[in-house]
Every structure is written in structure tokens, then in C-alpha cells.
Amino acid sequence: MAATASVVAQAVVAAPPAVSLRPVVRGADHFKKTVSGGEAIVAAAKLNGRVSFTVADAKTGLRLEGLDSKTGLPPASVAKAVTALYALDTLGPSYRFETRLVATGGVSGGVVQGDLVLVGGGDPTLSTNDLAALAQALKDKGIREVRGDFRVAEGALPYTPTIDRDQPDHVGYSPAVSGIALNFNRVHFEWRRAGSGYGVTMDARSDRLRPAVAMSKMEVVNRSLPVYTYTDGGRVDTWTVAQRALGNGGARWLPVRKPAMYAGDVFQTLARSQGIVLKNPEVVDVAPAGTTLATHQSDDLRSILKGMLRYSTNITAEMVGMSATAKRIGKVPSLKASASEMNRWANATMGTHNMALVDHSGLGSSSRMTSDDMVTALVKVHSNETLRPILKPVVMRDQQGRPTKSHPIKVDAKTGTLNFVSGLGGYMTAQDGTVMAFAIFAADEETRGRLSKANREAPKGARPWNRRAKTMQQKLIERWGVLYGT
């Protein structure tokens, strides 16, 4: 590798002489000299591409060791840790998103004289159960009829057809984003062999409800490849699937490209189950003035972010990130513009210098972050415990590669994975209680750049590359635990 490490403990890098000319009294820390050097660990991983890492004392910010620490690399989902800090600083940990039902034209005798509007408030966690509760609240309010239209307002956030255009059309982790989302903007596709063909369903299922969806349609086509195709059908997401890829049966979540139409479709069905018949939904940008009939509040932001960091939900990162930007500057022009505003915030507030993210989730591989900047942010918030309590504990492995909770080093961090991109950033506590902030980024951008869009879900070689990257991460963490925490 062309880059060189800037290692504080230089004695660790050079191997000791094989033979001593005279007996030498060994110091208590002699065993540290047997620890592999950082560059050697990186070289042994055989990742090609580039690797960058930084580790620092979490309390003082003192840099302990680094390799290409000011080189920007794709952070993948490690970017979500920055988004969490951005949202907490701007919106506050107790912030709650609201989804409302608004009546225009007044209500008389249980009849909405004007329109009924489902108003999205940027809630990334809205579920089918939540819409069912809103429909129940409408009935409990005595509403039995709506004479006007049924509309869905999605303009709280800018509409984005997919988080990352380089992703395959059918992957559920890159759906559309707008001011309203349902079930993380995913629709459940299920198929079962029926005679010589297949029976298929498209629904917005929850743990207790399975309302059918009309705005997303699937056709089984007699072919081998491509497995899926997508066409914008106006009011409908139109899918086809290759019959020869289906087997006897199965299911998967597909992305939704029309979030407001999806939420409207499902709410129309749920309202009908309460005896309230609505016209087909129409999508509007701006919510009209009117009387609020029912409101659903999300969990507090801190809880939402904890779930986001645990399950790495991309749409949650994009919606909370853009909601924070809306609070800061008003109407948000686009997802990318919101990411640029977050970059400015990080440089001004967190003390970073080269933050260059193109989204809030890390899904876009053109995002760049340096390991030094990530560690700067981690050190900045360490003392007030803003981030660490909501990071996911990362289970270390024993010498046989098995996960173990008895490992002497404890790690709370955010992982990040794209094809031929791997990141890890957070805090590690060594055996003696020393807390360190660290970030490790690795990317084989040349190999990734050769992948076709259709081959980005599970390309050949990506899994073993990622396994080697994770092994490298653990060995680096163990090195730092021995050198700086014993």
C-alpha cells in the first residue's frame, strides 16, 4: 500500500532482534512488542483498494495511531452516526413526528363537508398499525362520511424517487422518500405456486393486519432474467418477475416509488373497514388549512435513532436528516442539498474539516469521510454521552472466529457495508477501562466501479471481501486494546 502509517508507538512497528548479545531485563510491557503492526494487519487483509483508520483517546482527543487518516473514503452506513448527531442537535432527543388527518370545509353531523387530508409530517416509522389507529380515531370522532376528496400531503420533505440511483430497482433498502412514509416505504410481495402458474399478493402487512395494495402490481413473466423489472405506471408501481426464479413459493419486500399514493391506498382500505368510504387518493404537496381530526405521534427521536443505528434503516436516516435541515433552513430543495447542509453543520459544530456526504444514510458510494473527521466528532460528543448509549454493541470474536460476549474489549459502534466497502466507527473500552474513539474505512472502489447496476445486490467476491475487512477491524481493535489499554 502506497500510504504509510503515522504510528505513535514506533517500537511496535519494528520487529525486535532475533538474538540478543547479552541478557536484557524485559520490561513489564515487553509483550506489547509481539503485537502486529497496523500496516501489517492491513496488508494481511488483502483488500486491495485503500484503508484508512484513526484511533484516539476519547477523553482528550489525543491521536494514538492512524493510517491515511485524512483520506476521504465512502463511509457506508457509518454516516448514520453523523446523521444521528445532526438530528439530535437540531431537533432535540424528545422531538416527535406527527401524522395528521385534517378536514377542510368543516364537519357537521359526522359528515366532513370538504376534503379529508392525510398530512405527512416526516415520520419514518409510520406503520400500517398506526394508520389503522388513525382510522379508528376518525370513527371514534363520529365521522361517517366525507363528501369531498381524499388527499395525501407529502410536501413536508422533498420527493426523491430512490435514495441512490445506482442501486437495483428492486432492493427494499433504496425506496422513494417524501414527507410521508409507510412501512419504511416497502410493499410485501408474496408468491405461491398454483397449478401451472402462481398466485401473487401485494400487501402492506403488519404483525396483525394485511391490507391489500392496489397501487403496486406484479406480473409473473415466463423468462429467466432479469429477475425483476420496474415501470412507472403513473398512479401505479408496475413490476414483473421472472417465473423461473420463483420456485414453489416465497416472499420479499419491494421498494415503493410513490409513498403518498401507497399511504393513501392503505388508509382508504382501513377507513372502509370502519365504515368510512373515501374516494381514491390524490397526492398534493402543500397541506391545506382545516380542522385536525386525529393525530398520530411517533416515538421520541432518540428512540427512533437508536433503532436506526441498530437496524441501519436508510429511509429513517434520510427522513430525520432532511427534517433536521428543514428546521434549520426551511424548505429543503433536495436530499443532496440537505446532506450538504449537514456537512456544513458538522464542520462548524463538530470541528470536522472535510465532511462530504451526498446523503444521510451512507448508501451513495460517492460520499466521502475521513477517519480523522469521524474520530473528531466522536471525541467531541464523548463527554456528554450523546451518541454512545444509542450505538449498537458490536460483538467481538474469539480465536476460533466465534462471537463471544466474554471478550475483554467492549465495542459500541456503527457498522457500514456496501459491496467492496466496509466501515466501523465508534468507541472501544479496553480491559483497563480506557475508552478510545476510532474509525476504520476500507474501499476497493475500482472493483466496485466495474459492477453493473443489475449486479449490485450480491456480486461475486463481495462477501469474502467483507469478511476479510471485518477480521481486519477486529485485529486493529485488539492491537489498540493491548497497546493503549493495558
In a domain, 252, yes or no: yes
Can you tell me which residue has the cell 449537514?
Answer: 342
Alpha helix stretches (DSSP H) within 250-386: 259-273, 301-311, 314-329, 335-345, 371-382
255 and 107 share a domain? Answer: yes
Continuous segment of H or E residues that includes residue 72: none
27 and 109 share a domain? Answer: no
29 and 176 share a domain? Answer: no
Continuous segment of H or E residues that includes residue 394: strand 392-394
Q: Which residues pair with 234 in a beta bridge?
A: none
In a domain, 90, yes or no: no
CB 411 within 8 A of CB 428: yes
CB 322 within 8 A of CB 160: no
Could you list the residue range(s) of the whole structural domain that residue 151 is in? 98-297
Class of residue 308 by CB neighbours under 10 A (exposed 0-12, middle 13-18, buried 19+): buried
Q: What is the pLDDT of residue 26?
A: 46
The CATH number given to whatever domain includes residue 288 is 3.50.80.20
Q: Per-residue pLDDT tens for 74-101?
A: 999 999 999 999 999 999 999 999 999 9
In a domain, 350, yes or no: no
Q: What is the pLDDT of residue 30?
A: 52
Q: What is the pLDDT of residue 222?
A: 94
**Cβ neighbours of residue 463 closer than 8 Å, sequence gap 6 or more:** none
In a domain, 190, yes or no: yes
Q: Widest CA span of the chain, in angstroms?
A: 102
102 and 67 share a domain? Answer: no
Q: What is the pLDDT of residue 321?
A: 98
**Cβ neighbours of residue 219 closer than 8 Å, sequence gap 6 or more:** 238, 239, 240, 241
Domain-ending residue, one of 297, 329, 356 = 297
383 and 456 share a domain? Answer: yes
CA angle 355, 413, 314 (to 5 degrees): 65
189 and 283 share a domain? Answer: yes
- DSSP letter, residue 170: T
Q: Which three cell numbers stand for residue 451?
A: 459492477
143 and 232 share a domain? Answer: yes
Q: How far apart are the first and last CA of the chain?
A: 30
Measuring CA to CA, how many Å separate 37 from each of 11, 49, 444?
10, 19, 22
Domain-ending residue, one of 248, 278, 297 = 297
Rounded Cα distance, 363 and 227, in Å: 23
Going by DSSP bridges, is the β-strand pair 237-242/216-221 parallel, antiparallel, or unpaired? parallel
150 and 267 share a domain? Answer: yes
Domain-ending residue, one of 297, 326, 347 = 297
The amino acid at residue 147 is R
The alpha-carbon radius of gyration of the chain (Å, integer) is 26
Rounded Cα distance, 288 and 184, in Å: 25
In a domain, 464, yes or no: yes
Q: What is the pLDDT of residue 400?
A: 84
152 and 191 share a domain? Answer: yes
Measuring CA to CA, how many Å separate 406 from each of 42, 333, 424?
25, 48, 21
Q: What is the pLDDT of residue 457?
A: 81
In a domain, 220, yes or no: yes
Q: What is the pLDDT of residue 392?
A: 97
183 and 282 share a domain? Answer: yes
Going by DSSP bridges, is the β-strand pair 421-429/50-57 parallel, antiparallel, or unpaired? unpaired
What is the count of structural domains for the chain? 2
245 and 166 share a domain? Answer: yes
CB 428 within 8 A of CB 435: yes
In a domain, 182, yes or no: yes
Q: What is the pLDDT of residue 374?
A: 98
Q: What is the pLDDT of residue 346?
A: 98
35 and 154 share a domain? Answer: no
Question: How do the pLDDT tens digits run along the chain, 486 residues long?
Answer: 433 334 433 333 333 434 334 444 444 465 566 678 999 999 999 999 999 999 999 999 999 999 999 999 999 999 999 999 999 999 999 999 999 999 998 899 999 999 999 999 999 999 999 999 999 999 999 999 999 999 999 999 999 999 999 999 999 999 999 999 999 999 999 999 998 899 999 999 999 999 999 999 999 999 999 999 999 999 999 999 999 999 999 999 999 999 999 999 999 999 999 999 999 999 999 999 999 999 999 999 999 999 999 999 999 999 999 999 999 999 999 999 999 999 999 999 999 999 999 999 999 999 999 999 999 999 999 999 999 999 999 999 988 889 998 999 999 999 999 999 999 999 999 999 999 999 999 999 999 999 888 777 888 999 999 999 999 999 999 999 999 987
Q: What are phi and psi of 137, to 5 degrees?
A: -65, -35
Q: Which three cell numbers stand for residue 100?
A: 395528521
Q: Which three cell numbers stand for residue 5?
A: 502509517
Q: What is the pLDDT of residue 426?
A: 98
In a domain, 86, yes or no: no
Q: What is the pLDDT of residue 31?
A: 52
